[in-house]
Amino acid sequence: MRRTMESPCSQPPLPVECLSRYQRSKMPNLVFLLILLMPTMSSLPAAHCDDNNDDVGFHLTLTHVDAGTSYTKPQLLRRAIARSKARAAALQSLAVASSPAAPVVDPITAARVLVTASTGEYVVGLAIGTPPLYYTAIMDTGSDLIWTQCAPCLLCADQPTPYFDARRSATYRAVPCRSPRCGQLTYPACFQRVCVYQYYYGDTASTAGVLANETFTFGGAGNSTKVMAPNISFGCGSINAGDLANSSGMVGFGRGPLSLVSQLGPSRFSYCLTSYLSPTPSRLYFGAFANLNSTNTSSSSPLQSTPFVVNPALPSMYFLSLKGISLGNKRLPIDPVAFAINDDGTGGVIIDSGTSITWLQQDAYEAVRRGLVSAIPLPAANDTDIGLDTCFPWPPPPNVTVTVPDFVFHFDGGANMTLPPENYMLIASTTGYLCLAMAPSGAGTIIGNYQQQNLHVLYDVANSLLSFVTAPCDII
């Protein structure tokens, strides 16, 4: 069952340290490496409690990880699809490892998989500490931990901003082992009464360090009020590796208790992603600013809502109940079991901001492919240039008229996510192919951000509801 976030002051101290002696003994590498940092950590006072503002609201800019680079459009698409493949594989391995049937493993091995994610697609700006140090971090709806790289850094990845130095912040507080926040880590560890952590993000990144509380600063641009939020728990990483996509850490927006959305309150956020590869940045809205009422600009595109589904094996993920798919007015013959969560926690349908293209369960993908081959009067082909395999030569001959139908996801509650052709088809290469921006998955389905462009999507975590509406994301 999902654990709801409460103020640490409202909970009694844990009767023992975060882990048993046996469990702590399974994480020696982290503890020994952190010994060098203990003079810095032990000199810091214990965490204190101060509830966050329930009326907080701000908006931020979301920048694509490849924005401002010199890659060509085909190169950008290849990079996005490669990242998407890595993330899909990570999320699938996460589901398998989290299932009740999975073999019991030691905490380090489990942590490598149970917190698996991968490099995301968008970065967001924020500030940490007093005085505030501004930096960028990857936004990830598939994980929970907020973390940045900290000095002194034993092992750190390249980043565009200085490492955060806790010794220069007046509001930094290491989290004690007996704090409920420490117990909310997937696999916490303790050393000299300080809570330490170790997270792995597939094969692309990892972080280990001290769990601490700090003041974070958000917003301040445009008509957004600058918000300072005290006592946000984050990972102060001094042992990090991997690709941070020209950022300085990660911000988890999952449903778990340590994510930003769970800690900050109120538990709602939304984003509006501009057209893929557009130079115009996207927008992220939080709290009172996360409201879809003003974005419904067309009577033909009403606001739609569908409930989130809890997968006990992966309670932090945003699962949805998908009932079927249509191409135009034609409902495709897909057994609904293709979208169901299996008894072992695998399968199901996730909506994710950190995956580029959509990954459809194999049977559903084959049905979509057959539907497109039937609807588009052109010979089907594989475009191995970027790795998509449902493609058509483009542009069509002068004497051939092609009408690409809309693509519709039908969700529980009667919500229909209607995608115009530009949201699920793309021009794949300089050789000229029109390709389905989706790929087959041997496990579950992941609805990626390419399919979410020019939709304003609201995650109402408190009420377990996803809402969305068509919107001009480049001007709202």
Query: Which residues belong to the active site?
Result: 140, 352
The secondary structure element, H or E, covering residue 91 is helix 73-98
Residue with tokens 């609807």: 375
Phi and psi of 37, rounded to 5°?
-95, -10
Q: CA–CA distance from 242 to each of 138, 163, 355 (Å)?
A: 13, 16, 18
CA–CA gap between residue 79 and residue 422 (Å, rounded): 19
CA angle 295, 296, 299 (to 5 degrees): 160
Which residues 6+ apart lie within 8 Å of 184 measured at CB?
3, 233, 256, 257, 258
Q: CA–CA distance from 340 to each of 150, 159, 334, 371 (Å)?
A: 42, 40, 12, 22
Q: Which two tokens stand for residue 155?
A: 């092992």
CA–CA gap between residue 260 and residue 340 (Å, rounded): 28
Phi and psi of 78, rounded to 5°?
-60, -40
CA–CA gap between residue 331 and residue 416 (Å, rounded): 12
Secondary structure (3-state) at 93: helix
DSSP string covering 6-21: --GGGSPPPSS-SS-H
CA–CA gap between residue 245 and residue 294 (Å, rounded): 33
Assess contact for 175 and 139: CB atoms under 8 A.
no
CA–CA gap between residue 38 and residue 47 (Å, rounded): 16
Alpha helices in 129-251 (DSSP H): 180-183
Q: Which two tokens stand for residue 122?
A: 């968008």
